Structure 1
Amino acid sequence: MKKTILALLAGGALVLGAFSMGQGNHATAAPAAFKDVPASHWAKNAIDDAVSKGYLKGEGNGNFRPNAAVTRAEFAAILDRVSTNELQTDAGAETFADLAGHWSEKEVSEAAGKGFFQASDYPGGFKPNTPLTRVEMAKWMATGLAAKDADYKTALKDTIDTLVPVAEYYKGGLGKAEYPYVSVVLGTGLMTGYTDGSFGPDKNTTRAEVATILMRFENVQNQKANSFRDLNEMREVGLTGSNLESLTPHRYVINAQTKEKYSFDRVRDLSMNLTRNLGTEIIHRMIIVDANADKTTNNLYGEMFVDKDFDRPFQTDRYLVFIDVTVTPSTGNLDNLAFGSANSNVFLNGFSFSTGTQKTFGITPLPAGKHYVLDGFFIKDKPVRFWMGRSLNKEIILGDDNGNFFNIGNEVVSFKIPQE
């Protein structure tokens, strides 16, 4: 099926260009030189690419309006053009009474038929001229990927209970139902957060941003979900509570008799007693970070914990490990010295740290250099949840330092780099 759409919205909104609908093929044209997109513009290459492929056009007066917001109807039409998904049905728009006679009726219908959204997502009407939010964009693209590839659909399920590396996860502003969609677009690189650590779920998306995202979507839609390490990490964290196997060469030890893995999910959210009746501790997550000597990091989760203000010395031949725990003191004497040896599992006696990311992302670290009781961090019988640090070898080390293990009750976690 071939179609050519040329629509100019009232008020100088987005102009949609010609597009051939056969299996993702499209017409191309030389990109125009827009007066409001100078050579120094951060999205110039993406804008030129989108225009040359007919996904976007200027206003006809020499301007592109890169900062103008994109509407639901506009982005639905663009996805309809870019997507290589098969069209399952063209009846999607029939349930939207407010689309009758609208220029985008057919395009919205086809985008729905390709799996990007459903009529049930908008029970009050599609409202085509409403500016698209970033979380809507994330949901549409992630859902569209899932409609094409079953593994993306599985990835959405895997990340329902993951740790999402954006400020809104701890600070609020991101609903639990939105975790999977944001995880998929972050994990594939389709979308990124802002420099302040936020994702901006309710912010609108500009034409320049859309042009950039289109370049990424063209590539991502043809790649497998498991080819993206960041997404694999978020999937593993959602399923087990740790990104150990996705990021590192470490593998969980397998019981020779039962063939069961001694993996982190065996102890996730279990409670154990601290030594000397000092209280209880619940282990929630174990996040591994690959950090460099200049305090930059090589995985997406690293941005949540390490920045230039990270105050702990670390060895670049070791991973940083951050453990998410809830401690409930049973005494008023659980100070920093006592807590440092309160666990019979040495690996779970984590260190305190300070970092600028605690303000950026809203994480709560075990305080550095403080008397936990006198400063009110530990209060008798009051649960407090926080992150503490450890480290882990990157390569096999002769001796006892290849991996680690700990146990909670009858459950054991054990991991190391296989020696083959």
Structure 2
Amino acid sequence: MKKMILTGVTALALLTGGAIGSGSMGSSVEAAQATLKFKDVPSTHWAAAAINSAVEQGFFQGYADGTFKPGSPVTKAEMASILGRLTDQPNAAKQETNNFTDVPEWAKSGVSAAIAKGFISPASYNGKLDAKASLTRGEMATWLAQGLTVVDSDYKQALSDVTNTVIPAKEYFTGKLASNQKDAVAVALGTGLMSVANDKNFGTDRTTTRAEVAVLIARYASVAKSKPTDFQGLNELRAVGLTGTNLSIIAPSYTQTPEKKVNPTIKYSSVTSDFSKIRNKNLVTLTNHAELKIHSWIIVSPYAVGTKRSIYYPVFVDEGVITTLRGSYHSFVEFELNIKNPSMNQLQAGSLLNSSAIDPLLSPKTKASASYKIPTNIDFTKNRGVFTNNNPIYWGDGLLHFDKSLISPITLTTEEGVTFSVIDNK
């Protein structure tokens, strides 16, 4: 066993340019590796098991002083070399040429292998990888997501499907998530490959550490063996991206309202259960205080646990706190108003629609939503709730009912005449 471990480590050392001799990877760590224990990686360390596994497989080695340095950053060249050695990763159908001019000699074969396996696309760079720079989490997400598209073409479709989704990371809500990394971040979060930090940021500009890479190696191997549809979180992100809502996944009993329950003044041939048909369209309102559009509609069950819990639960709902009425679910809606009345207030916003689920009156007020910096109507109002911005975009907070005594159709009609209408048909 010891001999196999050291052989794997030696192979990686050769890939990293004789790092054993240079001291950057360590030189005499046989004892530490034999027991797979490092003095700076206690058994209580969050990545201890993954680190030991990565060392055992030869992806990493420790340092001469018996440490692993789990918080040290990993360079692009080092990560490319690791990804290039994933034996279960197939080669991409379309092979790109390694035309990088700044890759050190020791890493050229590793970078070429990572390119061949689809992790890195030279076409996305301008001839330079910046190989010695620390790999950021955003670029890591991009590399891993691209690798998944080689394993299963549906992951490629997923990357397209999430383009217009709501991403459960603070940077999304604050507008700081780079557009060229957004889709990859969505897939990374949706599959559980990566997660947000304690500050709720994904941290696209933060460096990737040795401990994180050790964990990601194991996670990637697991995700690559699964279908994209196996991940509810990714299914939700795709649904929101394509239609504007995760209703069909979290509350599938809500389907198109039967004709007999639709207002007879509405032509039933214009009725649809496809939310994308009314997404980002001006809706017919009850009052003329403002024009109103809906960008996204998120449903969260406060009762679901484990893998059934919505990926949006930690964004909007405080852990263990159930404030809904008689078994109802949370209904969060992203509104855009074009205010016509300069003195319009929150109460008048609430009068635009008549729905307990689609309600522009109130916004989320949980600790969770505050930590993610969810835009609320309070951000755009002053004394007495008067709006200070004529074009606010904020999230509303409502309830999706399942109690038969409370259920009524959720009906929204665009100014063009398309009607979205759904009701619990269980």
TM-score class, shorter: 0.7 to 0.9
Contact kept, 8 Å, 1:14 with 1:70, in 2: the verdict is no
- Per the alignment, residue 188 of structure 1 pairs with 191
Q: Give the whole-Å Cα distance in 2 for the aligned partners of 1:32 and 1:90.
A: 39
Q: Give the whole-Å Cα distance in 2 for the aligned partners of 1:46 and 1:233.
A: 28
Helix, strand or coil at the partner of 2:164: coil
- Per the alignment, residue 420 of structure 2 pairs with 413
2:60 corresponds to which of 40, 56, 59: 56
Contact kept, 8 Å, 1:188 with 1:230, in 2: the verdict is yes
- Per the alignment, residue 155 of structure 1 pairs with 158
- Opposite residue 225 of structure 2, the aligned amino acid is N
Residues 290-332 of structure 1, C-alpha deviation per residue, up to 9 Å, x if partnerless? 22599xx93221222223698x932372210011111223224
Output the TM-score relative to the length of structure 1: 0.84
- Per the alignment, residue 263 of structure 2 pairs with none
Contact kept, 8 Å, 1:171 with 1:362, in 2: the verdict is yes
- Per the alignment, residue 265 of structure 1 pairs with 276
Q: Give the stretch that moved more between structures: 74-83 or 300-309.
A: 300-309
Q: Map of 1:117-266 to 2, 5 A cutoff? A: 117-253=120-256, 261-266=272-277
Q: Give the stretch that moved more between structures: 260-269 or 209-218.
A: 260-269
Distance 1:74 1:90, change over 3 A: farther
- Per the alignment, residue 318 of structure 1 pairs with 328
More helix by share: 2
| Shift in Å, 1:179 | 1.3
Helix, strand or coil at the partner of 1:414: strand
- Per the alignment, residue 91 of structure 2 pairs with 87
- Opposite residue 407 of structure 1, the aligned amino acid is T
Identity percentage of aligned residues: 30
| Shift in Å, 1:114 | 0.6
Distance 1:316 1:57, change over 3 A: farther
Residues 250-295 of structure 1, C-alpha deviation per residue, up to 9 Å, x if partnerless? 343288997985221111011135334222111111111122599x
Gaps of 5+ in 1: 17-28
- Opposite residue 66 of structure 2, the aligned amino acid is G
Distance 1:391 1:346, change over 3 A: closer
Q: Give the stretch that moved more between structures: 181-190 or 400-409.
A: 400-409
Residues 197-237 of structure 1, C-alpha deviation per residue, up to 9 Å, x if partnerless? 10110110110111111111110011001110001111111
Contact kept, 8 Å, 1:274 with 1:281, in 2: the verdict is yes
| Shift in Å, 1:129 | 1.5
Contact kept, 8 Å, 1:334 with 1:373, in 2: the verdict is no
- Opposite residue 397 of structure 2, the aligned amino acid is G
| Shift in Å, 1:417 | 4.1
Q: Give the whole-Å Cα distance in 2 for the aligned partners of 1:167 and 1:153.
A: 25
1:383 maps onto 2:379 in alignment: no
Helix, strand or coil at the partner of 2:138: helix
Q: Give the whole-Å Cα distance in 1 for the aligned partners of 2:93 and 2:277.
A: 44
| Shift in Å, 1:54 | 1.8
Contact kept, 8 Å, 2:284 with 2:413, in 1: the verdict is no
Distance 1:343 1:186, change over 3 A: same
Q: Give the whole-Å Cα distance in 1 for the aligned partners of 2:357 and 2:174.
A: 29
Q: Give the whole-Å Cα distance in 1 for the aligned partners of 2:68 and 2:325.
A: 49
| Shift in Å, 1:14 | 4.4
Contact kept, 8 Å, 2:96 with 2:122, in 1: the verdict is yes
Q: Give the whole-Å Cα distance in 2 for the aligned partners of 1:214 and 1:167.
A: 25
- Opposite residue 227 of structure 2, the aligned amino acid is K
Q: Map of 1:40-55 to 2, 5 A cutoff? A: 40-55=44-59
Contact kept, 8 Å, 1:131 with 1:204, in 2: the verdict is yes
- Opposite residue 227 of structure 1, the aligned amino acid is D
Contact kept, 8 Å, 1:91 with 1:109, in 2: the verdict is no
- Opposite residue 393 of structure 2, the aligned amino acid is R
Helix, strand or coil at the partner of 2:283: strand
Helix, strand or coil at the partner of 1:239: helix
- Opposite residue 386 of structure 1, the aligned amino acid is Y
Output the TM-score relative to the length of structure 2: 0.83
Contact kept, 8 Å, 1:252 with 1:261, in 2: the verdict is no
| Shift in Å, 1:11 | 5.6
| RMSD over equivalenced CA pairs, Å | 3.3
| Shift in Å, 1:122 | 2.3
Helix, strand or coil at the partner of 1:272: coil
Distance 1:235 1:90, change over 3 A: closer
| Shift in Å, 1:30 | 5.6
2:298 corresponds to which of 287, 296, 301: 287
Q: Give the whole-Å Cα distance in 2 for the aligned partners of 1:366 and 1:94.
A: 50
Residues 136-185 of structure 1, C-alpha deviation per residue, up to 9 Å, x if partnerless? 10000000001221100000000111111111112233112211100000
Gaps of 5+ in 2: 1-6, 28-32, 260-267
Q: Give the whole-Å Cα distance in 1 for the aligned partners of 2:291 and 2:249.
A: 30
Q: Give the whole-Å Cα distance in 2 for the aligned partners of 1:374 and 1:309.
A: 33
Helix, strand or coil at the partner of 1:169: helix
- Per the alignment, residue 277 of structure 1 pairs with 288
Q: Give the stretch that moved more between structures: 176-185 or 78-87.
A: 78-87
Contact kept, 8 Å, 1:142 with 1:181, in 2: the verdict is yes
- Per the alignment, residue 13 of structure 2 pairs with 6
Contact kept, 8 Å, 2:12 with 2:58, in 1: the verdict is no
